[in-house]
Structure 1
Amino acid sequence: MKTSVITVPLYRAAHGRTGDKGNRSNISVIAWHPDLYPVLLAQLTEAAVARHFAHRLPSRVQRFELPLLHAMNFVLDDVLDGGVNDALNLDTHGKALSYWLLDLPVEIPASLAPLLAGPATADF
């Protein structure tokens, strides 16, 4: 028997924070509920995040798992156009990058739908 899943943007299952250091951005993803963490861990791989940020040309993406916090931290190298002092873009700190990651579609078992944040959608 196949488990039914729904596809939602990541922000329905997690929230995020972003920091920067030079040309490196780190993005934390924190599950809204502990039961969502293993589902997110399976889908938010280094490769998946690198694909999602391919337009920013990261030279490396690393994932650090924080299971006691139901979180993970991604470090993306060379995505800030040189960093705060060198970049000509409007978001030199990369604060908007967490929002870009939180828009990534993820598949959630329908049984976990009550744990999602935000308004219900037609996907339910």
Structure 2
Amino acid sequence: MQLFKKSKLKDKLAAKNSGFRHVLVEAPDFDNAKFMVFEPPLKDWMAYVSVVKLCSEDNETTEDIKAKKLIEAEAKLFIRCVRDENGDPIFGESELSELINVFGNNHSRILEKGLELLTLKQNPLEVAEKK
């Protein structure tokens, strides 16, 4: 009996997409499409925070270039965090340029659902600074 419980637990822990919290989202702005939004993997989150930090501290780069860098960073995170109802990626890395061209506030709001799952207790810029 104990072996059965352990095996079942192992199956749950090793199941597809079990390593990250996620929510099912319905997006009215996209014909009520349903998809899953995952919390970002640490590596991707740190890359995003790094871009945000660099842009916030950079006084020499134009606001237009900073905005482009921030949109690209968000779009990369969007690709990693937004998936179909089965948990499969909707966009691939090769589609980044295409996504950047249409990326807007609706996409940012969707991504925010995944960032909310992080439940960070500290300011992410301060955490990144310490690392």
Taking structure 1 as the reference length, the TM-score comes to: 0.27
Name whichever structure is richer in helix by fraction: 2
Flag the structure with more relative contact order, 1 or 2, with Cα contacts below 8 A and sequence separation at least 6. 1
Q: Which has the larger radius of gyration?
A: 2
Name whichever structure is richer in strand by fraction: 1
